[in-house]
C-alpha cells in the first residue's frame, strides 16, 4: 500500500533528542507530542467524489496531496479494498434479486455523481479538503442511464457489464380473477399513471462518524450518528475483519434520521478502515452538499393503476404496474427492493378487495442509491389507491367518502388478509372515518366549497385511508439473511440509592424513545420519572436488539422494557417481603416506597432496601439472594407485522392564476393501539404530516439527462417551512394490539404515509371544475399551471 503517514509517534522519550513534554501538555490527553508541538490525535477524513454519473477511472495522481503538510494518509478504492471486503445488498427471501459487489470507494468505474473515489486523512478537515484539490483524476465518461424505463430496454447501456440487464429484481402478484372484473361491462373501470419525485431525508444533523481503533486489544469503536448500532456492529465485523465482540458502536442522541441513517455507506466504512490502519481516531462529517449526493434517496416510482367497481360501488379488482429506479446498487444490508415491495403489498390494504394483480420492476440507474426512508413505500401505495378511489367516485357519480365507506374493511372483520397475503388484526377503519367526519364537519366544508367556486375560489378536500407497517417480526429482514434483529432487549436495575437504571437496545433520534422507556419503568416501579436513568445506543452496555426503525420503538423496545421492569419489581417485592416477614402480593411500590398494597402504609423506602441488599446482606434472611436486576427481550411472533390504521383529510385552496397551493387544514385520526404518551404520539404524527407534505408539494431531487444532480443545496431543494403549514388536528381511536401486553402499535410514520395522497386528492378536487388533474409529485406551481393549460 502506497500510504504516507506523517508525524509518527516516538517510541520513547528516554535517550531521544525530542524534549520531554511538560505536565500541561500531558494533561491535554488526546494530543500527540512531536517535534515540540502538540498535534491533535483526532484525524479528519474528506472524500474526492466523482463528478460524473458514469465514468471509467483511468488515472489517479495523489502525490501532491500526500506531500501537503498535515496530510496523514491518502487512499484510493483499490487500497481500501485490501482491507475492506465488498458487500451485496440482497435479501434471500426476495427471490431473484441481484446486485453486484459494492466497494467502499469506487474501483475502476464510478457509477453515480458523488460516489467516493479517493479519501484523504489529515489533521483537520480544512487540510483534508485542501489536499483533495491537489488530486488529479482522469475519467473516461460512459453513457449515463438515468431514466428507469429506458434502463430496462434491450439496448440500454449496462451499468454492470457482468449482469445481463439493468434489472435488479422483479416480483409479480396475481390473485383472483382480475381479467373478469375488467371485462365485465357492468363495472366502472378507471386507469391512471402516477409519477413520484425522488427525494431525500434532509436530516437536521448530517451523517457523521468517528472510528477509534485500539491495536492492543484489536478493538474498534465507532461513534455513529445512526439508528441500528448492533446491525452496524455486525457489518463492521464482517467487512473489516474484526471479531464482532471486539466492535463497539455508540449512537447517542441523533439529530434526526428518518431511515437515512440506517444503511451502509462506503465513506463511513472507509473511515473505520482508516482508523484501524492508522491506529488513531478518524472523523468524517458529511457537509450538506455531500448529504444530497450521498445520503440515500427514495420515492422514485412510476405507477400505472387500473381499478374496477361494480354497480353497487364495491371494488372488484385492482391492477398495478410499478417501476422504480434505485441507483447503481441495491443498498446493503436492507436492500433497495423493500420500498417497491411495500408499494405492491400495501395497495388496497384498507379495503375488501377480491382480485389483485401487480408487477414490480426494480431498475439500476446512474443516480444516488435509493433505499428505505420514512414510511417506506407507504406514501406511494396510499396515494395511488386513494387517487384511484377518487377517480372511481367521480366516474360513478358517488361521493368519495361514501365510496370509501362501502369498501372499507369492517371493524369486526378481523383477523383478515389481503390478496397480497398481508395479515391484519385489531384495526378500526370505520370508527376512524366516523371520527374524522365529525372533526372536520365535512358537510359544512362541502357547502363552503360550492359557494366559493361560484366566486372563482377553488378549494378542495382530499381523503386517504391508510395502514402503517409497525413492530416488524423476523419475517421482514432476518429471514433474508440480513444482520438485523427483530427483537429488542431491556435491562432494569435498582441501585443502592433507590434509583432505577435501565438500558434498552432502541435508539434516540429525537422521537422521545428515552422518555417512553423512563415512563414505562416509572409506572411499573412506582418511582418518579427523575429517578429513572436511561441508557440507549451502546452495543457495549445495552442488550442486543434491532434499534429504531419501522415504528418499532415503543411496540417492541417498550414491551421489553415493561417486562424487564415488571421482573425487577417482582424481585424487589420478594426481598421486601423477606425483610418485613410478609407476602410479596401484599406489598406494592408507590412514590419510591414499599407500602402495604391495601392500606398504602409505608413500610420502607427503596433506598433502604437497596442499601440493605448491597451493603448489609448479612441482615437478609437465609436463602434470600436478590439480584435486583432483570433483562427481558421481546419480538412479535404471531404476525409478520403489527399494522396501525387511520385516515387523513386535507383542505387546500389552489390559485388558478399562479398555480400556488395553499394548505388550509389537515386532519388525522390514527389508531396506534395503547397510547403511552399522547403528546409524543401527536407530534410524531404532525412531523410526519409535514414531511409528507414536503414530498407532495416541494421536495424533489432534480437530475439532468446525464445524471447531474441539479439542486444539491438548501437554496435549491425546497423543504416545507412552518409558515406554509396548516393547523394539523389529531384525534385517536384506540384498539390495542393483542401481540403484546403493552398493546402499543407504532406511530412514527403514519403522517408521512398518508399526507401526500391526501394533499394530491385535495388539489385535484379543487381543480376538477376546471378540467385539470395532477398525477405527479411534487405538485409545483409550474405543474399545476401546465395541468390547467392541458386540461389534465
> 428-472+641-792 has which CATH code?
3.30.365.10
Counting Cα atoms < 13 Å in the Cβ hemisphere of 82 gives: 10
Preceding amide of 275 cis, omega within 30: no
**Residue 20: is its pLDDT beyond 50?**
no
Closest by Cα among 321, 299, 341 to 168: 341
Closest by Cα among 317, 375, 475, 199 to 753: 375
φ, ψ for residue 546, nearest 5 deg: -80, -20
Tell me the pLDDT band of 450, cut-offs 50, 70 and 90: very high
φ, ψ for residue 431, nearest 5 deg: -65, -40
Mean pLDDT value of segment 327-344: 97
How far apart are the C-alpha atoms of 380 and 373, rounded to whole Å? 12
| pLDDT value for 792 | 61
Which residues, including other chains, have CB under 8 Å from residue 539's CB and lie 6 or more apart? Answer: 229, 230, 233, 247, 248, 249, 250
DSSP state of 203: -
How far apart are the C-alpha atoms of 20 and 493, rounded to whole Å? 47
Cell 404530516 locates to 689
pLDDT in tens, 553-604: 999 999 999 999 999 999 999 999 999 999 999 999 999 999 999 999 999 9
DSSP state of 639: S
How far apart are the C-alpha atoms of 103 and 121, rounded to whole Å? 19
pLDDT in tens, 533-557: 999 999 999 999 999 999 999 999 9
Q: How many other C-beta atoms can be found within 10 angstroms of the C-beta atom of residue 790?
A: 10
Q: 44 near 283, Cβ under 8 Å?
A: yes
| pLDDT value for 474 | 86
Q: Which uninterrupted H or E stretch holds 23?
A: helix 23-27
**Domain segments of the chain: what residues?**
23-31+487-634, 428-472+641-792
pLDDT in tens, 376-392: 999 999 999 999 999 99
Cα end-to-end distance, the chain, whole Å: 61
How far apart are the C-alpha atoms of 488 and 534, rounded to whole Å? 15
Which letter, b or e, does each residue of 342-372 get, where b requires 16 or more Cβ atoms within 10 Å of its Cβ? bbbbbbbbbbebebbbbbbbbbbbbbbbbbb
**Residue 89: is its pLDDT beyond 60?**
yes
Tell me the pLDDT band of 26, cut-offs 50, 70 and 90: very low
Which residues, including other chains, have CB under 8 Å from residue 71's CB and lie 6 or more apart? Answer: 4, 6, 65, 120, 121, 122, 127, 128, 131
Closest by Cα among 185, 165, 167 to 359: 167
- Retrieve residue 464's grid coordinates: 386517504
Q: Are strands 423-424 and 629-634 parallel, antiparallel or unpaired?
A: unpaired
| pLDDT value for 476 | 83
**Residue 1: is its pLDDT beyond 80?**
no
| pLDDT value for 10 | 29
Distances in Å between the Cα of 732 and the Cα atoms of 204, 216, 281, 428, 445 are: 29, 55, 48, 10, 22
Mean pLDDT value of segment 277-296: 97
Counting Cα atoms < 13 Å in the Cβ hemisphere of 310 gives: 11
Helices (H), 28-176: 63-67, 77-81, 125-132, 148-151
| pLDDT value for 478 | 87
How far apart are the C-alpha atoms of 38 and 32, rounded to whole Å? 5
- Retrieve residue 286's grid coordinates: 458529511
The CA radius of gyration of the chain, in Å to the nearest whole number, is: 29
Fold match, 23-31+487-634 / 428-472+641-792: yes
Strands (E), 418-563: 423-424, 458-470, 488-494, 500-504, 532-536
Answering whether pTM is above 0.95, one says no
Burial class of residue 530 in the structure, from the number of CB atoms within 10 Å of its CB (0-12 exposed, 13-18 middle, 19+ buried): exposed
Specify the CATH architecture of the domain 23-31+487-634: 2-Layer Sandwich (3.30)
Burial class of residue 509 in the structure, from the number of CB atoms within 10 Å of its CB (0-12 exposed, 13-18 middle, 19+ buried): buried
Helix, strand, coil content of the chain in percent (nearest 5): 30, 25, 45
Compute CA 598 distance to the chain's CA centroid, rounded to the nearest angstrom: 47
Cell 444532480 locates to 709
Compute CA 374 distance to the chain's CA centroid, rounded to the nearest angstrom: 4
With vertex at residue 609, the alpha carbon angle to CA 603 and CA 615, rounded to the nearest 5 degrees, is 145
How far apart are the C-alpha atoms of 293 and 121, rounded to whole Å? 21
How far apart are the C-alpha atoms of 472 and 659, rounded to whole Å? 41
| pLDDT value for 637 | 87
Closest by Cα among 506, 588, 623, 509 to 555: 506
Mean pLDDT value of segment 595-620: 96
Tell me the pLDDT band of 638, cut-offs 50, 70 and 90: confident
Handedness of CA 575, 579, 584, 590 (dihedral sign): negative
Q: Return the minimum-mean-pLDDT range out of 14-28, 275-289, 436-450, 698-712.
A: 14-28
% of the chain at pLDDT higher than 70: 95
Q: 699 near 717, Cβ under 8 Å?
A: yes
pLDDT in tens, 670-723: 999 999 999 999 999 999 999 999 999 999 999 999 999 999 999 999 999 999
Strands (E), 77-187: 109-110, 116-122, 136-141, 167-175
Amino acid at each position: 500500500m502506497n500510504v504516507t503517514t506523517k508525524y509518527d509517534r516516538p517510541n520513547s522519550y528516554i535517550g531521544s533528542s525530542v524534549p520531554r513534554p511538560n505536565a500541561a501538555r500531558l494533561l491535554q490527553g488526546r494530543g500527540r507530542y512531536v517535534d515540540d508541538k502538540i498535534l491533535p490525535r483526532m484525524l479528519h477524513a474528506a472524500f474526492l467524489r466523482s463528478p460524473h454519473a458514469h465514468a471509467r477511472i483511468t488515472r489517479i495522481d495523489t502525490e501532491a496531496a500526500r506531500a501537503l503538510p498535515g496530510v496523514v494518509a491518502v487512499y484510493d478504492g483499490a487500497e481500501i479494498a485490501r482491507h475492506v471486503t465488498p458487500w451485496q445488498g440482497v435479501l434471500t427471501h426476495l427471490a431473484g434479486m441481484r446486485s453486484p459487489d459494492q466497494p467502499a470507494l469506487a474501483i475502476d468505474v464510478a457509477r453515480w455523481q458523488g460516489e467516493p473515489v479517493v479519501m484523504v486523512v489529515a489533521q483537520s478537515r480544512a487540510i483534508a479538503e485542501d489536499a483533495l484539490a491537489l488530486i488529479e483524476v482522469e475519467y473516461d465518461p460512459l453513457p449515463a442511464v438515468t431514466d428507469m424505463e429506458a434502463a430496462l430496454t434491450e439496448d440500454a447501456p449496462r451499468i454492470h457489464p457482468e449482469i445481463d440487464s439493468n434489472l435488479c429484481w422483479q416480483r409479480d402478484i396475481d390473485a383472483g380473477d382480475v381479467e373478469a372484473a375488467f371485462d365485465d361491462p357492468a363495472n366502472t373501470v378507471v386507469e391512471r399513471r402516477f409519477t413520484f419525485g425522488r427525494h431525500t431525508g434532509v436530516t437536521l444533523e448530517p451523517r457523521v462518524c468517528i472510528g477509534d481503533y485500539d491495536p492492543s486489544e484489536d478493538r474498534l469503536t465507532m461513534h455513529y450518528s445512526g439508528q441500528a448500532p448492533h446491525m452496524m456492529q455486525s457489518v463492521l465485523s464482517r467487512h473489516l475483519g474484526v471479531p464482532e465482540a471486539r466492535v463497539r458502536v455508540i449512537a447517542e442522541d441523533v439529530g434526526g434520521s428518518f431511515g437515512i441513517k440506517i444503511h451502509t455507506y462506503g465513506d463511513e466504512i472507509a473511515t473505520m478502515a482508516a482508523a484501524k490502519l492508522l491506529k488513531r481516531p478518524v472523523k468524517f462529517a458529511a457537509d450538506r452538499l455531500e448529504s444530497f449526493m450521498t445520503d440515500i434517496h427514495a420515492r422514485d416510482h412510476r405507477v400505472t393503476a387500473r381499478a374496477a367497481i361494480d354497480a353497487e360501488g364495491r371494488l372488484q379488482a385492482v391492477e398495478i404496474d410499478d417501476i422504480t429506479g434505485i441507483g447503481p446498487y441495491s443498498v446493503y444490508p436492507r436492500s433497495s427492493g423493500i420500498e417497491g415491495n411495500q408499494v405492491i403489498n400495501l395497495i388496497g390494504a384498507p379495503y375488501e378487495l377480491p382480485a389483485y394483480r401487480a408487477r414490480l420492476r426494480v431498475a439500476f440507474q446512474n443516480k444516488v442509491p435509493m433505499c428505505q426512508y420514512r414510511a417506506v413505500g407507504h406514501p406511494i401505495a396510499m396515494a395511488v389507491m386513494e387517487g384511484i378511489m377518487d377517480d372511481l367516485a367521480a366516474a360513478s357519480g358517488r361521493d368519495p367518502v361514501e365510496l370509501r365507506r362501502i369498501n372499507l374493511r369492517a371493524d369486526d372483520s378481523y383477523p383478515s388478509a389481503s390478496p397480497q397475503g398481508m395479515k391484519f388484526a385489531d384495526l378500526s377503519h370505520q370508527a376512524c372515518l366516523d371520527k374524522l367526519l365529525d372533526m372536520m364537519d365535512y358537510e359544512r366544508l362541502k357547502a363552503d366549497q360550492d359557494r366559493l367556486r361560484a366566486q372563482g375560489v377553488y378549494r378542495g378536500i382530499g381523503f386517504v385511508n391508510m395502514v402503517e407497517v409497525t413492530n416488524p417480526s423476523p419475517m421482514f429482514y432476518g429471514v433474508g439473511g440480513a444482520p438485523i434483529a427483530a427483537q429488542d432487549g431491556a435491562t432494569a436495575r435498582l441501585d443502592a440509592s433507590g434509583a432505577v437504571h435501565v438500558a434498552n437496545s432502541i435508539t434516540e433520534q429525537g422521537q422521545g424513545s428515552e422518555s417512553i422507556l423512563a415512563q414505562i419503568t416509572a409506572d411499573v416501579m412506582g418511582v418518579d420519572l427523575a429517578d429513572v436513568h436511561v441508557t440507549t445506543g451502546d452495543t457495549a452496555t445495552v442488550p442486543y436488539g434491532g434499534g429504531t426503525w419501522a415504528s418499532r420503538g415503543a411496540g417492541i423496545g417498550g414491551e421489553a422494557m415493561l417486562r424487564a421492569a415488571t421482573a425487577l419489581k417482582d424481585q424487589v417485592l420478594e426481598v421486601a417481603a423477606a425483610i418485613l416477614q410478609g407476602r410479596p402480593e401484599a406489598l406494592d411500590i408507590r412514590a419510591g416506597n414499599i407500602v402495604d398494597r391495601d392500606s398504602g402504609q409505608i413500610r420502607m423506602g427503596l433506598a433502604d432496601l437497596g442499601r440493605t441488599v448491597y451493603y448489609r446482606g448479612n441482615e437478609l434472611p437465609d436463602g434470600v439472594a436478590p439480584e435486583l436486576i432483570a433483562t427481558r427481550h421481546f419480538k412479535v411472533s404471531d404476525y409478520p407485522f403489527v399494522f396501525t390504521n387511520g385516515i387523513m383529510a386535507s383542505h387546500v385552496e389552489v390559485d388558478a392564476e399562479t398555480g400556488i397551493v395553499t394548505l388550509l387544514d389537515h386532519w388525522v385520526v390514527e389508531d396506534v393501539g395503547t397510547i403511552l404518551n399522547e403528546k409524543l404520539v401527536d407530534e410524531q404524527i404532525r412531523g410526519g404530516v409535514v414531511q409528507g407534505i414536503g414530498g407532495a408539494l416541494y421536495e424533489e431531487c432534480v437530475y439532468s439527462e446525464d445524471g447531474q444532480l441539479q439542486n444539491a443545496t438548501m437554496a435549491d431543494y425546497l423543504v416545507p417551512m412552518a409558515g406554509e403549514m396548516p393547523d394539523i388536528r389529531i384525534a385517536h381511536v384506540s384498539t390495542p394490539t393483542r401481540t403484546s401486553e403493552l398493546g402499543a402499535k407504532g406511530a412514527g410514520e403514519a403522517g408521512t404515509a398518508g399526507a401526500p395522497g391526501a394533499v394530491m386528492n385535495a388539489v385535484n378536487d379543487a381543480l376538477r371544475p376546471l378540467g385539470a388533474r395532477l398525477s405527479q409529485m411534487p405538485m409545483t406551481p409550474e405543474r399545476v399551471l401546465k395541468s390547467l393549460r392541458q386540461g389534465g
